[in-house]
Structure 1
Amino acid sequence: MSQVADRREAFVIPHHPVRDLLTGSVASIALTFVVVLAVGLFWVGPRFLSFGNMSIMGSFLIVPLIVGAFAGFALLSGVVDLSIGSMVGFSSALFAMFLTLGWDPWAAAPVTLLACLGFGAINAIAIVGFGAEAIAATLGMLVALRGITWVLLGPQGSIFSFNPGLFALVNQAVFGLPLFFLLAVALTLVAALLVSKSRLGRHVQAVGGDERAAARAGISVRNVRVVALLLSAFGGGLGGIVFAGQLGSAARATGVGLEFQVYAALMIGGFSILRGGVGNPIGGALGLLAVAGVSNILDLRAISPYYVNIIVGLLLLAAVLLDRFRGGDAYE
């Protein structure tokens, strides 16, 4: 038996970071992103990659990139947090309300984030503490937070909270691109390093890949999932603060449908909603960039934006089929 095992091990190809990156889901979405760029250049022309157009796209991508970088940890741990869109709306409304009350933005932001972490803790108690289904629990939180947001916004449905210093900071440009877009990209890279190089990242992937094996290895499944849900809530809170700073206001529509936009891009980028331990934040960011590129091409060509839904749906189907053909990337 030992000889047979030795022969099998001889045929096992060892993992190598570079090869895994080139043959994994990140490579697939990177190729898709390159195709989108090529189509844009061919169909729209040089203005597709002009600084002006890139700046517009970057401004719209800041919040989805921030939210996606944090929500990816929940997905990797095997938990789907559907409340991220409503968390963004709640955060923007609470932060805007504080500003209208005369609070300094640097004082309002931490309090807003603490409130979001509180709701993230409620998600964690329901899912980890009481074993509730993640989709059902976070769907309830989605509805509850949306209702709280409407209460905060009042009958007028919006709060005008323009702060000149905050607006100038959030909308500042560096080398022709929004500063906060570059910071969001940097945040994505940090998240990718945490996933691939840190102990936390390896534990999150292990728990999502096989929680029983992770528990046998001495990893606290409960603690990892609590941390992942808190990170997801923190990302939604941070995204809402940035949203309010960008627009100088908060409204009922803020964050509505954002969870579907983010999760669709994460799935296209290689994450899996049905099983954890699969995905890389870089792939998720490229998924967002690819979808935004498609939407921008249709806008510049004056084509109905409803076609974006068709293309995103096809990309999702392609991502699912590719994942099945590849046999999955479960954490080992």
Structure 2
Amino acid sequence: MRERFLNWQTVLFVLCVAVLAFGATSTPGFAQPDNISFLLLDYSEVALLAFAMLPIVLTGEIDLSVASVLGFCSALTGTLWNAGMSFEMIVPLVVVAGIVLGSVNAVLIVRFGLPSLAVTIGTLGLYRGLAYVVLGDGAVTGFPANYRPLATDSIPGTFLPYATLLVIVVGAIAAVVVHYTPVGRALYAIGLGEQTARFSGIRVDRIKMSLYLVSGGLAALASVIFTLRYNSARADNGNGLELAVVAAVLLGGVSIFGGRGTVFGVATAVLLMAGLRNVLFLGDVSNEIQNVITGLLLIVSVLVPVVVGALSRRRTPPPAASESPLPDSDSVEGARLPQPH
């Protein structure tokens, strides 16, 4: 299975390179530094949310409320800014609010034992509704000009946006935690068998609680970038973004059942989707068609591992039956039974 997974990552990387090469050679303006910066910025929030969802899916759970947490935190940012609060105070308050929303998911899933799919579908609607309660259906603009470049501009002399630098830092931390720490090994163990992990002494509940808190915090941080990038706080910010996030995680080779996946695979999938979306955007393809393609990628990302697994099982011969010879009559007759004492 490990070899098959590594092969999928290789295929994904080749596809990513192919899409970028196709864009550079056939799409006017694709390889321009300004467009590369736009390409990276366009999926910065998706990347942050995907890195937050990756460890959750590794444990066999899911969080479909991440985009609604982003929307609520964006609405809260606008409300606090309208109230005259400084942006330096707003950011930590918004991050705390995201963590609180994540803790609601955690309590319902971990403490009450409810299915994460059902819970986060419910909070997806709940948090989006609360965003409209907080801000209404209007928009708040005019955020500080000295902070906006952090979400829109690139590092001087490069095409690397400041927001992408944050994505790289978060991705590096996620890679270290997932692949090189006991916590990361525990994530895989939980995904492969939660009950076995508990018997092994892994604090399953504590780890799952922490993952949803981190998810809420990163969603809040993504909301700050999203709000500054568009200079607009709205209750519908990030609406539908959870589809792209789930597609990136599953396309990156993370098993929906848990226990398998890497940060590299998710990062490659995010870059592939960003490159593909940019090629379609420059080709004047409508958003509706882009959403159709994202949905197809999501289906393919779930279907391919199942088909590959079925083909692999078909090619693998069943284990041979044991051919241990039956004892002959002479050996049975010559055997001595132990005498009772």
Q: Which category of TM-score, normalised to the shorter sequence, fits these structures?
A: 0.7 to 0.9
Corresponding residue to 2:208 among 215, 225, 238: 225
User: Equivalent of 1:299, from 274, 281, 293?
Assistant: 281
Question: Any conservation in 2 of the 1:116–1:233 contact (CA below 8 Å)?
Answer: yes
Aligned partner of 1:201 among 177, 181, 184: 184
Contact 2:40 2:274 in 1 (8 A): no
Q: Indicate if the aligned counterparts of 1:113 and 1:238 stay in contact, CA closer than 8 A.
A: yes
AA aligned opposite 2:233 = A
Counterpart residue number, 1:131: 113
Does 2:25 correspond to 1:42? yes
- Paired residues for 1:169-208 under 5 Å: 169-174=150-155, 175-208=158-191
Partner of 1:280: 262
Matched, 1:254 2:237: yes
Which stretch of structure 1 is more off in the superposition, 49-58 or 307-316? 307-316
1:111-163 deviation per Cα after TM superposition (whole angstroms, max 9, x unaligned): 11112111211111111111111111111111111111001113x52222511
SS in 1 for 2:147: helix
Q: Aligned ranges for residues 26-65 of structure 1 at < 5 Å?
A: 26-45=9-28, 47-65=29-47
Does the Cα contact within 8 Å between 1:36 and 1:290 map onto a contact in 2?
yes
Q: Give the percent of matched residue pairs that are identical in Structure 1 and Structure 2.
A: 31
Deviations 1:60-112 (A, max 9, x none): 11111111111212111211111101000011111222222222222211111
- Unaligned residue ranges in structure 2 (runs of 5+): 311-341
Aligned amino acid, residue 150 of structure 2? L
The change in CA–CA distance for 1:69 and 1:212 in structure 2 (over 3 A counts) is: same
Deviation of 1:183 after TM superposition, in Å, equals: 2.0
Q: Which whole-Å CA distance do the structure 2 matches of 1:79 and 1:167 have between them?
A: 35
Aligned to 1:81: 63
> CA deviation digits over 1:177-222, x for unaligned, max 9?
2111122123212211211001211112211221112112110111
How far off its partner does 1:326 sit?
A: 4.9
- The residue identity in structure 2 corresponding to 1:125 is V
Report how far residue 20 of structure 1 moved: 8.7
Matched to 1:54, the amino acid is I
Q: Which residue matches 1:116?
A: 98
Change (3 A) 1:301 1:93: same
Return the offset for 1:319: 2.8
Q: For this pair of structures, how many residues does the alignment match?
A: 308
RMSD, matched Cα:
2.2
Task: Flag as ranges the 4+ runs of structure 1 deviating above 6 A.
Answer: none
Give 3-state SS (helix, strand or coil) of 1:86's partner: helix
Letter of the aligned partner of 2:159 in structure 1?
Answer: G
Moved more, 304-313 or 156-165: 304-313
The answer to whether the Cα contact below 8 Å between 1:88 and 1:237 also exists between their aligned partners in 2 is: yes
1:315 to 293, 297, 310: 297
Deviations 1:235-282 (A, max 9, x none): 111111111222222113201101111101111111233x11222222
CA distance in 1, matches of 2:114, 2:44: 32
Residue type of the partner of 1:100? Answer: N
Structure 1: gaps spanning 5 or more residues? 1-12
Compared CA separation, residues 177 and 86, structure 1 to 2 (3 A): same
Measured after TM superposition, the shift of residue 24 of structure 1 is 4.5
Q: Give the Å deviation of 1:31.
A: 1.6
Match of 1:166 in 2: 147
8 Å CA contact retained: 1:120, 1:230: yes
Structure 1 CA distance for aligned equivalents of residues 13 and 44 of structure 2? 19
Distance 1:310 1:116, change over 3 A: closer
Contact 1:99–1:161 under 8 Å retained in 2 = no
Residues 294 and 308 in structure 1, CA contact (< 8 A), matched pair in contact too = no
Distance 1:205 1:281 in 2: 13
Alignment-mate amino acid for residue 79 of structure 1: E
| Cα distance between partner residues in 2 of 1:135 and 1:212 | 20
Q: CA contact under 8 A between 1:25 and 1:279: conserved in structure 2?
A: no
